[in-house]
Homo-oligomer: A and B are copies of this chain.
Amino acid sequence: MADQNGLEALSMRKLAGALNATAMSIYNHVKGKEELHTLMLDHVINEFEHPDIDGEWKTMLKRRAISVYAALKRHKWALTLMLTKSAPTSATLRDTDRVVGCLRNAGFSFKQVDWAHNAIESHIYGYTIQELNFPVEPDEYQSAAQHFLPHISLKEFPHAHASAKAVADGDYHGMTDFEFGLDLLIESIAAWQAKNQQAE
């Protein structure tokens, strides 16, 4: 599996070449490119750390979230594949089953489980999408800001300019933190769930 050269580099013909075979022989093992993609995505999902159903839900879901985030960064094509509508596979089912189980055991209603799970998944996917899209490596923020600053019109975009200047001047690093939003969410979900415990 070539996740070092990007998704578009993985053609049936090249994949076959890497396997010392012809492109057509692949069709004996897989129905088509779509099934190949599903199998690849399943491989990623199986790398997610399953929450221990009887563990404390906050720490369990936080650990899982961090492992999902790491897996999505290891396989940069995964989120792209997620954007093609697809029926849930057993890998997805296993993952959601553990998440649902963990929250159910913590006293969440079905609706509360869904809403909490969805909000946490949102943060994971959305944070990763931003990081994958960001054109600068973390250790080059300052030099990149210095380089880009002249291209950010002070008159048109004064606040973006000021922000970039702060990074260029070394006033602060400019790096964001995956666990910041995650912790905010988990804590506010906990408060929300406690407040609505009998309401649902």
* Chain A residues within CB distance 8 Å of chain B: 53, 79-80, 82-88, 90, 93-94, 96-98, 100-101, 104, 109-111, 113-115, 118-119, 121-127, 129-130, 132-135, 152, 156-163, 166-167, 171-172, 174, 176-177, 180-181, 184-185, 187-189, 192
User: Quick check: A163 and B100 within 8 Å, CB to CB?
Assistant: yes
Cα A98 to Cα B126 with chains together (Å):
20
A166 and B163 alpha carbons, distance in the complex (Å):
49
Query: Do A189 and B184 have beta carbons less than 8 Å apart?
Result: yes
Q: Which residue of B lies closest to A134 (CB)?
A: B85
Residues of chain B within 8 A of A87, CB atoms compared: 135
- Indicate whether A119 sits within 8 Å of B123 (C-beta atoms), given known contacts A94-B157, A188-B188: yes
**A185/B181 in contact, CB under 8 A:** yes
A129 pairs with B172, CB closer than 8 A: no
Is A110 touching B171 in the complex (CB atoms < 8 A)? yes
Residues from chain B with a CB closer than 8 A to the CB of A119 are 123, 127, 180-181, 184
- Among residues of B, the one whose C-beta sits closest to the C-beta of A81 is B133
Interface centre among A119, A126, A129, by most chain B C-beta atoms within 10 angstroms, is A126
* Given A118-B176, A123-B119, A126-B126, CB of A163 within 8 Å of CB of B113: yes
A130 to B129 CA separation, bound complex (whole angstroms): 12
Given A100-B159, A110-B172, A185-B185, 18 further pairs, Cβ under 8 A:
A53-B159, A80-B80, A83-B83, A83-B133, A86-B133, A90-B156, A93-B152, A97-B158, A100-B160, A118-B176, A119-B184, A122-B126, A123-B123, A124-B126, A126-B126, A126-B127, A129-B129, A184-B188
